[in-house]
Amino acid sequence: MKKIVYPGSFDPVTNGHLDLVKRAANIFDEVVISVFCNPNKKPVFSMSERVEMLEQATADFKNVTVDSFSGLTTKYVKSIGAGAILRGLRAVSDFEGEFQMASMNKHLDQEIETIFLMTDTKYAFLSSSVIKEAAYFAGDIKELVPDFVYQKLKIKFKND
């Protein structure tokens, strides 16, 4: 097929994100995970830390690369020669916001498609925000993120 971009904050990367990456890597020739600098969010991890965690988490995927960007997603997608944007849908509640974003992206560039993949039901409740909140209060998130992410969250929130 073609090159697809999976943009997001990935603060931090979760097993739900990685499930989508794995499935997309089986469909597309190349998957570029792009960490987005979102001015509306206050990340726990720096851009370089998030890129590094994603590189470590996807090291076994031969057709997956990790990058970062700021600005319009459509401009970034075009600049790297991709033709599609990957988005995950966890629940019906995600659809409205994702549909709005996909519609705006289509308005900005008619040549770029948005491809939606449904999240595996075991990750339907999972988001980076939920992970950070649970980690902050020393909740058990060990099965929801890669082990090295779990360790980094323990350090960030000083939980033993």
Binding residue ranges: 9-10, 17, 41, 73, 87-90, 98, 123-129
Residues linked to residue 64 through DSSP beta bridges, in sequence order? 31
**pLDDT in the model for residue 1:** 61
Residue ranges of domains in the chain: 3-158
Round to whole Å and give the CA distance between 37 and 15. Answer: 21
Task: Kindly report, residue by residue over 66-121, the tens digit of the pLDDT.
Answer: 999 999 999 999 999 999 999 999 887 788 899 999 999 999 999 999 999 999 99
- The model's pTM: 0.94
Round to whole Å and give the CA distance between 160 and 26. Answer: 37
Q: Which residues are catalytic?
A: 17, 41, 90, 128
Q: What confidence tier does 39 reach under pLDDT thresholds 50, 70, 90?
A: confident
Binding residue ranges for ATP: 9-10, 17, 88-90, 98, 123-129
Amino acid at the residue 104: M
Task: Kindly report, residue by residue over 129-154, the tens digit of the pLDDT.
Answer: 999 999 999 999 999 999 999 999 99
CATH H-level, domain 3-158: superfamily: HUPs (3.40.50.620)
